[in-house]
């Protein structure tokens, strides 16, 4: 089935996503989740659907230059190709909804562009979920129970601050964070993959922009662990945002 014909109602719910993650952890099987939103679509469109000039003019690249916060320098065809490889290897892929999507970006950079990319490169993930499953799963106690029960590694420039905050806020269900790896840019991927090997962990949460599409499947494959593209969830926790509503043990 072409992705353009895939109905929103068949996307796995965040609870179903959590169950898949938990199952992989219990069975000690490698598992990776990657997510394809507007930024990923723009990076994946290089050389095929958007010219270098068009890429440079996108709001996403312009914002990245202003804030130095996207973690990639475009154009970069090696980045695109590594992302495509990551999507092919991932167990679960998050995509925008065809209708009523919440991603704050022009429609032309959301599901319709994902459809074109997946058709062109013949990408047919075994399982699909909503791109914001990362933001929604933290609303469940189930998520925090998983972090409590399993050794968790964090990869992000927000990792240290996120760890401090959730350790303070979840005293009744303390997260088992065993380490933090700082990450800022695509060029750090080889060193980051090597550094991951220094830790004994079960689960890794990655907040590293589009780079997570590369990192999560690579870690799952190389180390046989569960690796999740966690998007901006760490940032939206450290800098509280209405975009997420984490489960509150005090409520």
Give the pair of three-digit tokens for residue 77. Answer: 């065809």
Residue 138 in domain? yes
Q: What is the pTM of this model?
A: 0.97
CA of 70: how far to CAs of 108, 144, 161, 244, in Å?
20, 28, 19, 20
CB atoms within 10 A of CB 203: 23
Q: Is the pLDDT of residue 1 over 90?
A: no
CA of 71: how far to CAs of 62, 67, 99, 116, in Å?
13, 10, 29, 25
Kindly indicate the confidence band of residue 222, based on its pLDDT and cuts at 50, 70 and 90.
Answer: very high
52-61: pLDDT as tens digits:
999 999 999 9
Three-class DSSP category at 118: helix
Domain that holds residue 122: 3-238
Coarse DSSP helix, strand, coil percentages of the chain, rounded to the nearest 5 percent: 50, 15, 35
227-238: pLDDT as tens digits:
999 999 999 999
Residue 110 in domain? yes
Task: Report how far residue 250's alpha carbon sits from residue 173's, in angstroms, rounded to the nearest whole number.
Answer: 11
Q: Is the pLDDT of residue 250 over 90?
A: no
Residue 251 in domain? no
pLDDT at residue number 174: 97
Residue 248 in domain? no
Percent residues over pLDDT 70 in the chain: 100
Give the pair of three-digit tokens for residue 144. Answer: 């925090």
In 3D, which of 180, 231, 186 has the Cα closest to residue 201?
180
Percent residues over pLDDT 90 in the chain: 95
Q: Tokens 């990923």 appear where? A: 40
Burial class (CB in 10 A: 0-12, 13-18, 19+), 127: middle
Q: Is the pLDDT of residue 251 over 80?
A: no
Residue 249 in domain? no
Three-class DSSP category at 250: coil
Total number of domains constituting the chain: 1
CB 148, CB 174: distance < 8 Å: yes
Residue 141 in domain? yes
In 3D, which of 47, 64, 42 has the Cα closest to residue 108?
42
Task: Report how far residue 179's alpha carbon sits from residue 201's, in angstroms, rounded to the nearest whole number.
Answer: 9
Q: Is the pLDDT of residue 135 over 90?
A: yes
Q: Is the pLDDT of residue 68 over 80?
A: no
Residue 230 in domain? yes
Average pLDDT over residues 171-197: 97
Average pLDDT over residues 78-92: 98
CA of 230: how far to CAs of 36, 46, 172, in Å?
12, 24, 23
- The secondary structure of 62-87 as a DSSP string is HHHHHH--SS--SS-HHHHHHHHHHH
Average pLDDT over residues 73-78: 95
pLDDT at residue number 65: 85
Three-class DSSP category at 132: coil
Task: Report how far residue 185's alpha carbon sits from residue 71's, in angstroms, rounded to the nearest whole number.
Answer: 4
Residue 175 in domain? yes
pLDDT at residue number 220: 98
């Amino acid at each position: 089935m072409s992705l353009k014909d895939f109905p929103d109602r068949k996307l796995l719910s965040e609870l179903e996503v959590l169950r898949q993650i938990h199952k992989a952890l219990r069975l000690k099987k490698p598992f990776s989740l990657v997510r394809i939103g507007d930024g990923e679509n723009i990076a994946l469109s290089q050389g095929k659907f958007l010219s270098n000039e068009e890429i440079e003019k996108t709001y996403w690249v312009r914002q990245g230059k202003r804030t130095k916060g996207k973690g990639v320098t475009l154009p970069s065809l090696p980045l695109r190709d590594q992302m495509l490889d990551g999507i092919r290897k991932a167990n679960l892929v998050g995509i925008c909804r065809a209708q009523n999507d919440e991603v704050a970006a022009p429609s032309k950079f959301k599901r319709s562009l994902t459809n074109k990319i997946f058709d062109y490169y013949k990408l047919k993930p075994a399982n699909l979920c909503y791109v914001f499953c990362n933001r929604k799963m933290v609303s469940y106690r189930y998520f925090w129970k998983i972090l409590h029960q399993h050794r968790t590694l964090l990869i992000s420039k927000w990792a240290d601050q996120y760890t401090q905050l959730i350790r303070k806020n979840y005293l009744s269900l303390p997260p088992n964070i065993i380490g933090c790896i700082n990450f800022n840019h695509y060029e750090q991927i080889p060193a980051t993959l090597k550094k991951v090997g220094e830790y004994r962990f079960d689960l890794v949460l990655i907040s590293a922009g589009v780079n997570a599409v590369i990192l999560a499947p690579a870690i799952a494959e190389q180390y046989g662990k569960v690796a999740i593209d966690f998007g901006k969830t760490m940032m939206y926790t450290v800098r509280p945002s209405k975009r997420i509503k984490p489960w509150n043990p005090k409520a």
